[in-house]
Structure 1
Amino acid sequence: MKALWFLSLLSFVLNMGISAQAKKVAKKPIPPKAEIPPEIERTIPEPPNQYQLRLTMENDAFGGFSDRYYTNGSRLEFHMTAGESNPTRRILGYWNNLFIVSSEKTRYLQGFALGQEFYTPTNITKADVSYGDRPYSSRAYFSNSLTTATEDTSITTELEVGMIGPAVGGKSAQMNFHNLIGSPTPQGWDSQIPNSYSGALRTDVRKFHHRFFGTQYNVNLGNIQTDVSFGLIFRFGNVDKTPGPGTSALQPGPPILHEDGKGYWYFYINPGGTFQLYNATIQGQIGTDKTYKNQNRSTAFSNWDNYLNNPTPEAGEREIQYRALSEDNGRNSLQRYILFNEFLVKGTNNPYNIGLNYLIFNNIFNGAEDIEQATRVFLLKNLLDQWEQIPDNARALAIYSIFRPEGGKLPPIVRLYSYEVLSQFILDPKQREILLQLLRDEIEYRDEKTYVADLKRAVGFVRAGFVSVSNAGFLFGLHYNYQTIDFQSAKGLPQQHQWIGFQLGKVF
């Protein structure tokens, strides 16, 4: 009986001890499986903020190519890591997320950029813009961007504000640069696309399906350019699927995509095409009275039958000659001067020598092309030989035409004097008065105008080059660009353009 009581008591004591121990264990919190203990979490460093600079420069002079069309572009960028509270990331992130699936490794970079672009026609030695050629234009802009990047995809969206027109300073910038390198002084900047403010939204999407192959999409929406582009990117080198930096100032793309200690390099070729809806550097301020389109030089000369009273067969024949003279595409000055001399000097009562006749031809039919120094001396000597026989209006146009300031526009009065002297010897008095009145009206109409070409919808391009980003984050890029023209040109103008660009940058 005592033994049974002792065993019962021992069992009770043991149960109480086990129950107490169980309660202690129950009270002790059990860390969840996914939670990292604080002492271990403190050993994992947070990703450092990244800062970087990038400079892009492009010019057709770098490759020794012809100076025309897109002649210069430059862009300076600053980028930094964009945290969750970054305003740019909050605004543009929604748009970027439409094209990408975010993950823990997704990087966000906010960017600021200053850029400029200059455009010129085929022949920059003319004071007038050749009809059917690309007009002079310059633009500058400031932008704020967000780049969302994964290991194989980058989305760069940019908000841009800027200006197009003389206020950008394209005239002085190109004239100073050409004087520095000894190139011809551009003469036609006074006729450039007028001042206008700009705003745009630009998105660039690049995805690499293989480390050696990717696709590129680019969309521009704004009052300077509205277009879409698509391209393929083939590359070879020591690189994984990272999209790498953009290569063109015209389509900037992402900044330097780099991880500390992971450099890469590659050669690439990027063929593609652009579909244009609007381009203000070609079309100007649509809807204003400062622009008009004309594929051929339309003057009173090329519309002979509309203003001459009782036209004769001889008048119709001369109309054909004037039209041929007026088709100035910037490249056939000598041929047209021979035509001028054959039909408007020989066989008429024109008493002047080559000196004055060449200046008349140059002012009326040849876009007031800049005259070389040796030719100026020859023309001046020829004029002095018959100076006493030259009327006052001819003397005035001769002096200004020979000693015209570099880059200066041909004044309307000098153009009118040229018309007056020419008309004195090719028309009868009645026709002459009608012609001169129409020419006065035309000069008034042409003054302060901008000559623009029609837009070409489809544009093809090929880009090729080399990109290197070192382990320490130094960027070097060298890029070749080939592009078909983006406007509907007059007959005989070049249908393509080439230029070279380079990039320098550093990640901090």
Structure 2
Amino acid sequence: MKVLHFLSFFGLIASLSLEAAPKKENRKPNLIKPSETSQTSIENSFPKPKDQYQIRLIMENDAFGGFSDQYYTNGSRLEFNMKAGESNPTRRVLGYWNDLFITPTQSTKYLQGFSLGQEFYTPTNIEKADVSYGDRPYASRAYFGNSLTTATEDTSITTELELGMIGPSVGGKSAQMNFHNFIGSPTPQGWDTQIPNSYSGALRTDVRKFYHRFFGTQYNLNLGNIQADASFGLIFRFGNVDKTPGPGSSALQPGPPILHEDGTGYWYFYVNPGGTFQFYNATIQGLMGSDKSYKTQNRNTAFSNWDNYLNNPTQEAGEREIQYRALAEDNGKNSLQRYILFNEFLVNGTSNPYNIGLNYLLFNNIFNGAEDIEKSTRLFLLNNLAEQWDQIPDNARALAIYSIFRPEGGKLPPQIRLYSYEVLSQFILDPKQREVLLQLLRNEIEFRDEKTYVADLKRAVGFIKVGFVSVSNAGFLFGVHYNYQTIDFQSGKGLPQQHQWLGFQLGKVF
């Protein structure tokens, strides 16, 4: 009605103007027809829809919920999204792929996105300089992504092309050490063993379809040289929402950006159970074709195949091999049990003359992954060492001082590890066997120093996500999510078989 009133008023003014205007001879005819004038006026009265711009931040960490610091320990992602017109290059490239999952209509929306993301992974016990037996290796990954989201009133398809890298150049070591120092958590010691540098490329697609405003399904496909997997999940939700798929949640599966109509907000709680089938994961298995990685579950130490090394297949040698294996298989949680075994087998009943101070350092350097020593334990060991200082040889003094005051965040130097082997080997074997063992230990140092610890992949992984999402009428996004997941690698005995973390997301549509 307002438009009609406006047009009537405009027509009245125009007619009065024409009547008041002086007549001129030979005046050129008006080339614009009345119908065209009316059509132009109508078009001008309806402004074109504004281009949509938005920003979104996702952050998640197992420390947010006070959970154990292990496995997938931190992830973050920053996105910028905007409307994608027909001539948009991203829409032209990725639109064909998205159209395989949806039938576009005149109301279909297209959003182009740019993103920066990073992910950090750590083993169960971050206080060890070596990765524990059968544990997840250290890994850090960062990427830049370009995405296209195709969305209808009940379906969204988000496809992203990623370019990035994995390895020390990502800066996971310094980032986590600084964060832990800031919050007062233990300093991670084993980042020097992380998956080596390599460039990455990936294509991932997220499909969400809602059959009812309270029920939908989710499919996710990852293809690339860092990760290849497929997942499926159900989404149950409750709240003030229609069939709009809404934004994704986790930085690992970000899904669509903020899907929002101006002046129309929504909120809901959701439960998202599902599973993932893994084909390949470089943050667990190491890089394709790498000659610097070996399986933590199957790695051979200098104490494996004891009979073959010494050519002495006696019952006594077989029992000794079993004891050494039990000592070497550190899973990050059994330090006390193995130290008792070490003390009974390699200290008591032998010619080892040292007290607990030096013997504990020998055990820690050789069998316990060079675990970081707490301050109270350091004082106790120093006091114990002082009582025997004059009787300790120079190489034992060097390894003792370095082991107690070792710089944070670095692996044990090969020379200190060799000193530990030399001191211990003097008291457990006869001279001939001692020389054989010492040579094997030297070989192990060279082998260990040039390799990267990796783990075997677990194909099937289950997960459940619970969270809350709110998008206001003005386009403000707030979300919080909890994730529970079974582990994605084949672990050693005694390690946790699940992991959980908390995350949040903030955003705004402009």
TM-score for both structures, normalised by structure 2: 0.92
Question: RMSD across aligned C-alpha pairs, in angstroms?
Answer: 1.5
The residue that corresponds to 2:363 in the other structure is 361
The residue that corresponds to 2:500 in the other structure is 498
Which amino acid is 2:245 matched to? Answer: P
State the distance in 2 between where 1:328 and 1:441 align. 20
The residue that corresponds to 1:328 in the other structure is 330
Provide runs of 4+ in structure 1 moved above 4 Å: none
The alpha-carbon distance between structure 1 residues 279 and 244, as it changes in their structure 2 partners (threshold 3 A), is same
Secondary structure at 1:62 match in 2 = coil
2:62 equivalent to 1:60? yes
Which whole-Å deviations, capped at 9, do the CAs of 1:418-442 have from their partners, x for residues lacking one?
A: 1111111010111111111111111
Report how far residue 42 of structure 1 moved: 3.3
The match for 2:344 among 337, 342, 354 is 342
The residue that corresponds to 1:147 in the other structure is 149
State the distance in 1 between where 2:133 and 2:289 align. 20
State the distance in 1 between where 2:336 and 2:299 align. 18
Report how far residue 296 of structure 1 moved: 5.0
State the distance in 2 between where 1:74 and 1:322 align. 42
Secondary structure at 1:435 match in 2 = helix
Report how far residue 43 of structure 1 moved: 3.0
State the distance in 2 between where 1:254 and 1:300 align. 51
The residue that corresponds to 1:450 in the other structure is 452
Secondary structure at 2:102 match in 1 = coil
The residue that corresponds to 1:203 in the other structure is 205
How is 1:82-93 mapped onto 2 (pairs within 5 angstroms)?
82-93=84-95
Please identify, of 293-302 and 71-80, the stretch whose mean Cα deviation from structure 2 is larger.
Answer: 293-302
2:110 equivalent to 1:108? yes
Which amino acid is 1:229 matched to? Answer: S
State the distance in 2 between where 1:427 and 1:317 align. 15
Which amino acid is 1:91 matched to? Answer: V
The residue that corresponds to 2:43 in the other structure is 41
Which whole-Å deviations, capped at 9, do the CAs of 1:134-183 have from their partners, x for residues lacking one?
A: 00000000000000110000010000000100000000000000011010
The residue that corresponds to 1:25 in the other structure is none
State the distance in 2 between where 1:311 and 1:439 align. 20
State the distance in 1 between where 2:359 and 2:300 align. 22
CA contact (8 A) 1:297 1:327 kept: no
CA contact (8 A) 1:297 1:328 kept: no
Secondary structure at 2:63 match in 1 = helix
Q: Select the structure of larger CA radius of gyration.
A: 1
State the distance in 2 between where 1:402 and 1:318 align. 29
Which amino acid is 1:440 matched to? Answer: R
CA contact (8 A) 2:275 2:462 kept: yes
The residue that corresponds to 1:23 in the other structure is none
Secondary structure at 1:42 match in 2 = helix
CA contact (8 A) 1:153 1:243 kept: yes
State the distance in 1 between where 2:290 and 2:207 align. 35
The residue that corresponds to 1:488 in the other structure is 490
State the distance in 2 between where 1:182 and 1:384 align. 30
> What is the identity percentage for the equivalent residue pairs of Structure 1 and Structure 2?
85
Please identify, of 434-443 and 66-75, the stretch whose mean Cα deviation from structure 2 is larger.
Answer: 434-443
The residue that corresponds to 1:376 in the other structure is 378
State the distance in 2 between where 1:475 and 1:299 align. 52
The residue that corresponds to 1:9 in the other structure is none
Secondary structure at 2:439 match in 1 = helix
State the distance in 2 between where 1:96 and 1:286 align. 29
Secondary structure at 1:300 match in 2 = coil
Which whole-Å deviations, capped at 9, do the CAs of 1:308-332 have from their partners, x for residues lacking one?
A: 1334332222111111111211001
State the distance in 1 between where 2:389 and 2:291 align. 41
CA contact (8 A) 2:135 2:296 kept: no
Report how far residue 209 of structure 1 moved: 0.5
The match for 1:395 among 389, 394, 397 is 397
The residue that corresponds to 2:12 in the other structure is none
Secondary structure at 2:179 match in 1 = helix
How is 1:238-253 mapped onto 2 (pairs within 5 angstroms)?
238-253=240-255
Report how far residue 243 of structure 1 moved: 0.3
The residue that corresponds to 1:225 in the other structure is 227
How is 1:295-310 mapped onto 2 (pairs within 5 angstroms)?
295-296=297-298, 298-310=300-312
User: Across the two proteins, how many residue pairs are aligned to each other?
Assistant: 477
The residue that corresponds to 1:157 in the other structure is 159
Report how far residue 45 of structure 1 moved: 3.0
The residue that corresponds to 2:468 in the other structure is 466
2:145 equivalent to 1:138? no
Secondary structure at 1:301 match in 2 = coil
Report how far residue 302 of structure 1 moved: 2.1
The residue that corresponds to 1:476 in the other structure is 478
Which whole-Å deviations, capped at 9, do the CAs of 1:214-235 have from their partners, x for residues lacking one?
A: 0000000001100001000000
TM-score for both structures, normalised by structure 1: 0.92
The residue that corresponds to 1:194 in the other structure is 196
State the distance in 2 between where 1:223 and 1:304 align. 39
CA contact (8 A) 1:296 1:490 kept: no
Structure 2, gaps ≥5 residues long: 1-32
Please identify, of 498-507 and 442-451, the stretch whose mean Cα deviation from structure 2 is larger.
Answer: 442-451
Secondary structure at 1:324 match in 2 = helix
Report how far residue 297 of structure 1 moved: 5.3
Which amino acid is 2:209 matched to? Answer: K
Secondary structure at 1:374 match in 2 = helix
